[in-house]
């Protein structure tokens, strides 16, 4: 059954195995998450659970948001996210999901928003090659031709050009869980995950035994 959690990226570090191998890891603070809503196929057309994460002051939320959370007797939560699941029988509103739902050695998918790098040029954004750097050349980092003039007489949609780089949702799949600290809700995963330290991340895992 799928395990779905929300967390925060803390940063990166490294750990050493017993034989001295250095493994780069990302530290994630995972949960605790509260189930705020359960949707069923009979009522809503599909099975899903909505979980909340990161308790905040109530004055930071709107009245509709507070009213929705009051139905499940949940505190003011900053983030809400819905996950589709196969069966809702093992979940109930108000249930708390923690990092102990995931085991060391599991493979997880981590989704987050990548670091925004602003407006970038062709070489940085699409890895184009530059023009000649010799004296008299005026196209060092210019785009060059972007299409024929007479036919078709326009620029095709999707043409690789300068523009915004980063700041989009991306998923890193099949990251191995190296270690888990249940007391502090921390998890170490091998490799890097999207976003800056402090960014929200969504974690999905396949686990056979859910508490």
Structural domains of the chain, count: 2
Question: Same domain for 142 and 178?
Answer: no
Q: What is the pLDDT of residue 211?
A: 38
Work out the pLDDT band at 206, boundaries 50, 70, 90: low
Domain coverage including residue 77: 2-117+168-206
Choose among 182, 190, 173, 188: nearest CA to 211.
Answer: 182
Q: Are 110 and 190 in a shared domain?
A: yes
pLDDT given at position 91: 85
- Is the predicted pLDDT of residue 202 greater than 70, yes or no? yes
84 and 160 belong to one structural domain: no
Distance CA 30, CA 40 (A): 26
Q: Which of 183, 22, 209, 211 is nearest to 106 (CA)?
A: 209
H-helix or E-strand spanning residue 38? strand 33-39
- Percentage, residues of the chain above pLDDT 90: 38
The half-sphere exposure of 181 on its side-chain side, counting CA atoms within 13 A, is 9
Does residue 53 belong to any structural domain of this protein? yes
Average pLDDT of the segment spanning 165-188: 91
179, two tokens: 């270690």
pLDDT in tens, 4-57: 899 999 999 999 988 888 999 999 999 789 998 888 888 888 889 899 998 888
Residue 187 dihedral angles phi and psi, to the nearest 5°: -145, 135
Q: Does residue 211 form part of some domain? A: no
Quote the CA–CA distance of 141 and 121 in Å, as a whole number.
8
Tokens of 198: 């402090």
Task: Say if 24 falls within a structural domain.
Answer: yes
76 touches 69 (CB < 8 A): yes
125 and 34 fall within a common domain = no
Q: Pull the structure tokens for residue 44.
A: 């809503």
Across 47-51, 111-115, 176-180, 206-210, least confident range:
206-210
Whether residue 155 is contained in a domain is answered as: yes
pLDDT at 162: 92
């Amino acid at each position: 059954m799928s395990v779905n959690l929300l967390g925060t990226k803390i940063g990166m570090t490294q750990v050493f195995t017993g034989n001295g191998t250095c493994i780069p890891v990302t530290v994630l603070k995972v949960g605790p998450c509260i189930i705020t809503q359960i949707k069923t196929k009979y009522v809503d057309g599909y099975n899903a659970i909505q979980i909340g994460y990161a308790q905040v002051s109530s004055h930071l939320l709107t009245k509709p948001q507070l009213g929705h959370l009051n139905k499940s007797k949940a505190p003011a939560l900053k983030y809400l996210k819905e996950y589709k699941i196969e069966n809702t029988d093992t979940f109930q509103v108000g249930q708390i999901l923690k990092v102990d739902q995931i085991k060391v050695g599991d493979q997880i998918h981590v989704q987050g928003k990548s670091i925004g790098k602003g407006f970038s040029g062709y070489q940085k954004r699409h890895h184009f090659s530059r023009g000649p750097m010799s004296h008299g050349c005026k196209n060092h980092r210019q785009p060059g031709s972007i299409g024929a003039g007479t036919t078709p007489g326009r620029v095709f949609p999707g043409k690789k050009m300068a523009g915004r780089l980063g700041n989009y949702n991306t998923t890193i799949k099949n990251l191995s869980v190296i270690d888990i600290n249940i007391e502090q809700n921390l998890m170490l995963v091998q490799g890097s995950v999207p976003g800056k330290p402090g960014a929200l991340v969504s974690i999905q895992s396949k686990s056979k035994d859910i508490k």
